[in-house]
């Protein structure tokens, strides 16, 4: 069943006394309309990328801040390539495939573990994890394979998993720390996204390879996240906690990508276990709370920062992962399809209206709930979120292959020992100067912001 929305008629909206005209007239009953809209948003997103120009570094967006101040952290580039792989997978548009493949391959690092030494000043398990999940998506979609002398997408995902599988320690009874290296600010913080990326990757590797070791690690991490209270009985997922307090000082701010990353992991565990009742109830619980917290009026909403537009650059991108991973959930846990698609349709319709600002008059803001009144913000995160929530609406209109496995046509070359060459002693990578060590990965900014009280009201 295809949800229908007023689309053409919504092109001109009366707001106050002035007419605001929308740039896009998205028709969710038309594949062409969805593809055209997503293609233009993707094009505008890629205007930020300079990695394939002379002097640019392949695979990375400008950044990290403060060079330039509006720049991006390394992880978000990895997340963008994952989005572009899905963009190709849904739409068939190969325009960005080569730049995507080249970008990922440039950033695999000296040991092919998605930890290039250039970025050791800001290497979180979540940063590495996002690149690992992008590699996993490439394997699941049979994205164009690297040449034989390069590690396959599956091997890169396995390297990320293997290097992380040995990192949980006894503080707080288990779990991954946020940062990889002891000299980084945040090494004493155990957070939901770092553990969520590992959980997600483990579940998908189990499904892809049928190797139960990955599933066992995923279960262990899930159990730990629940036992320590980062995920509560209602399936709220909170940001993180410090080891100095035995992880009892839980920062209760909630971000949409945490819901997405655990939901898709749980859906893969559901699929891997041939539809177990346990994982079904976990998927249902996460989905229910995702809708309760992040979909007021059926439109995806970044509850921690959207109202006051106090989002950091990272946060502006979170709805991209939420919406893409909701769509991916429908493929491995089909019973969720009819619950999820109406939310993605309403969000897409709203997001398209919000792409109505900037110099070209069609840059996307974050505030999908504000219709065609652009919120004044623009960036890679906003473009990525809008395009993701739009292209996933091809699902009801045309066949989109579900994620492959090694036994259903996946051709990516794996290496279950990948990552073994990784630097065993991370202190060896410690930079000569520590002046720049707060360079920050995903959530440093949150900790800083939280310390100034901006999110304090949420830390009940």
Ligand X SMILES: *[C@@H]1O[C@H](CO)[C@@H](O)[C@H](O)[C@H]1NC(C)=O
Query: Applying CB under 6 A, which residues contact ligand X?
Result: 46, 52-53, 57, 94-96, 98-99, 106-107, 116, 118, 154, 162, 173, 211, 213, 227-228, 234, 246, 271-275, 284-285, 288, 292, 331-334, 402, 406, 412-414, 416
Cβ proximity to ligand X, 78 vs 260, nearer residue: 78
The DSSP annotation for 433-458 comes to --TTGGG--SSHHHHHHHHTTTTGGG
Pick 59 or 186: Cβ nearer ligand X: 59
SS3 189: strand
Instruction: Between 274 and 433, name the residue whose CB sits nearer to ligand X.
Output: 274
Query: Cα–Cα distance between 350 and 347 in angstroms, integer?
Result: 5
Q: How far is the CB of 259 from ligand X (least distance, A)?
A: 13
Min CB(203)–ligand X separation in Å = 12
Element (H, E) at 132: helix 125-140
Q: Where are the alpha helices (DSSP H) in 252-391?
A: 256-272, 277-294, 318-332, 337-354, 380-391
Burial label for 150, CB within 10 Å (0-12, 13-18, 19+), is: middle
Give the shortest CB-30-to-ligand X separation in angstroms: 25
Beta carbons within 8 Å of 301's beta carbon, 6+ residues apart: 294, 295, 368, 369
Q: Decide whether 372 or 410 has the Cβ nearer to ligand X.
A: 410
Q: What whole-number distance in Å separates Cα of residue 45 and Cα of residue 323?
A: 17
Nearer to ligand X, 37 or 271 (CB): 271
Please say which residue, 122 or 349, places its beta carbon nearer to ligand X. Answer: 122
Phi and psi at residue 64, to the nearest 5°:
-80, 165
Nearer Cβ to ligand X, position 16 or 399? Answer: 399
Residue pair 17/6 in contact (Cβ under 8 Å)? The answer is: no
Closest approach of ligand X to the CB of residue 11, in Å = 29
- Phi, psi at 191, each rounded to 5°: -125, 165
Residue 234 C-beta: closest distance to ligand X, Å = 5
Q: How far is the CB of 444 from ligand X (least distance, A)?
A: 20
- To ligand X, the closest distance from the beta carbon of 25 in angstroms equals 25
Which distant-in-sequence residues (6+ apart) come within 8 Å of 191 by Cβ? 126, 178, 230, 239, 240, 241, 443
What's the distance, CA 437 to chain centroid?
A: 24
Task: State the minimum distance, in angstroms, from the CB of residue 308 to ligand X.
Answer: 25
HSE-CB at 172 with a 13 A cutoff on CA atoms is 29
- The residue at minimum Cβ distance from ligand X is 402
């Amino acid at each position: 069943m295809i949800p229908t929305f007023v689309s053409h008629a919504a092109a001109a909206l009366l707001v106050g006394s002035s007419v605001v005209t929308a740039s896009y007239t998205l028709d969710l009953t038309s594949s062409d309309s969805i593809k055209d809209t997503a293609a233009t948003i993707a094009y505008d997103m890629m205007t930020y990328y300079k990695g394939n120009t002379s002097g640019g570094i392949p695979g990375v967006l400008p950044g990290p801040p403060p060079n330039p101040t509006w720049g991006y952290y390394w992880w978000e580039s990895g997340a963008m390539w994952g989005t572009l792989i899905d963009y190709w997978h849904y739409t068939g548009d190969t325009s960005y495939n080569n730049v995507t493949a080249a970008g990922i391959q440039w950033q695999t690092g000296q040991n092919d573990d998605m930890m290039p030494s250039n970025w050791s000043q800001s290497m979180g398990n979540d940063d590495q994890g996002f690149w690992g999940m992008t590699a996993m998506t490439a394997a699941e979609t049979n994205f164009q394979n690297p040449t034989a002398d390069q590690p396959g997408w599956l091997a890169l995902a396995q390297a990320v998993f293997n290097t992380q599988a040995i990192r949980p320690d006894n503080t707080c009874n288990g779990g991954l720390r946020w940062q990889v290296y002891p000299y980084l600010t945040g090494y004493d913080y155990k957070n939901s996204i770092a553990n969520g990326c590992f959980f997600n990757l483990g579940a998908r590797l189990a499904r892809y390879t049928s190797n139960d070791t990955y599933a066992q690690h995923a279960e262990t991490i899930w159990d730990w996240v629940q036992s320590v209270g980062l995920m509560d009985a209602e399936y709220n997922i909170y940001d993180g906690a410090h080891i100095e307090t035995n992880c009892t000082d839980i920062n209760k701010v909630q971000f949409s990508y945490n819901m997405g990353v655990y939901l898709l992991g749980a859906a893969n565990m559901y699929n891997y276990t041939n539809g177990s009742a346990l994982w079904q109830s976990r998927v249902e619980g996460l989905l229910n709370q995702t809708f309760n917290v992040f979909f007021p009026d059926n439109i995806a909403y970044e509850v921690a920062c959207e109202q006051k537009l106090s989002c950091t650059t990272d946060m502006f991108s979170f709805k991209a992962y939420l919406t893409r991973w909701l769509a991916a959930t429908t493929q491995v846990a089909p019973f969720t399809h009819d619950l999820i698609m109406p939310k993605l349709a309403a969000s897409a319709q709203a997001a398209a209206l919000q792409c109505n600002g900037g110099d070209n008059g069609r840059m996307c803001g974050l505030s999908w709930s504000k219709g065609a009144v652009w919120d004044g913000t623009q960036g890679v995160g906003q473009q990525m979120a809008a395009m993701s929530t739009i292209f996933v609406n091809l699902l009801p209109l045309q066949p989109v292959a579900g994620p492959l496995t090694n036994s259903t046509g996946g051709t990516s070359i794996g290496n279950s020992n990948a990552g073994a060459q990784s630097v065993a002693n991370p202190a060896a990578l410690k930079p000569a100067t520590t002046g720049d060590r707060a360079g920050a990965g995903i959530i440093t900014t949150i900790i800083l912001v939280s310390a100034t009280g901006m999110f304090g009201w949420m830390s009940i």
